[in-house]
Amino acid sequence: MAKRIDKKFQIQSKYNRVFSEEFKRSKVKDLKNGLISMADLCKLYSVSRASVYKWLYLYSEAEKGVKTIVQMESEQFKTKQLLERLSELERIVGQKQMEIDFLNKSFELASEELGYDLKKKYASKPWNGIESTPANTSTR
């Protein structure tokens, strides 16, 4: 048998609270200075992110319709490290491409000097996967 609960006895999860303008301004200032994160502010005072963004629009220079991103120092540091790593990898790829180009040009020059194509003569025969390889032809 299901229990029936009257609506007047249900606990409401949302509170209708009013914060003073001074409190809102101080929290916006703390948020802008990085003293508190958005998640911590919402959790500590049980306020929705939408309410905090409304405070940001009202009590700071933020424009409505422009998304404000509050980024912690650790995120900035991580982003900087990732960008440095990306530039390092791009540099390495560029060096490897130059090596490949150099080797290809060397093969071309050597082929011209010797009078036959070195790539065709000394390159391994492409394997199509159907034929057996010389190592697999021996019987056991």
pLDDT of 63-81, one tens digit each? 555 665 665 567 778 888 9
pLDDT at 9 over 50: no
Give residue 87's pLDDT: 95
Mean pLDDT of the chain: 78
Domain residues of the chain, as ranges? 17-70, 73-122
Residue predicted with more confidence, 119 or 124:
119
Residues 36-55: b if buried by 16+ CB within 10 A, e if exposed: bebeebbeeeebeeeebeeb
What pLDDT, on a 0 to 100 scale, did the predictor assign at position 58? 86
Per-residue pLDDT tens over the stretch 12-50:
455 677 888 889 999 988 888 888 888 888 988 888 999
Q: What percent of the chain has pLDDT over 90?
A: 17
Going by C-alpha positions, the residue among 47, 113, 88 that lies closest to residue 55 is 47
State residue 124 phi and psi, 5-degree precision: -70, 150
Mutual orientation of helices 38-45 and 21-33 as an angle, nearest 10°? Answer: 150
- Side-chain-facing half-sphere of 59: CA atoms under 13 Å: 19
Average pLDDT over residues 107-118: 86
Mean of pLDDT values over 45-62: 85
pLDDT at residue 73 in the model: 64
Rounded CA separation 118/19 (Å): 81
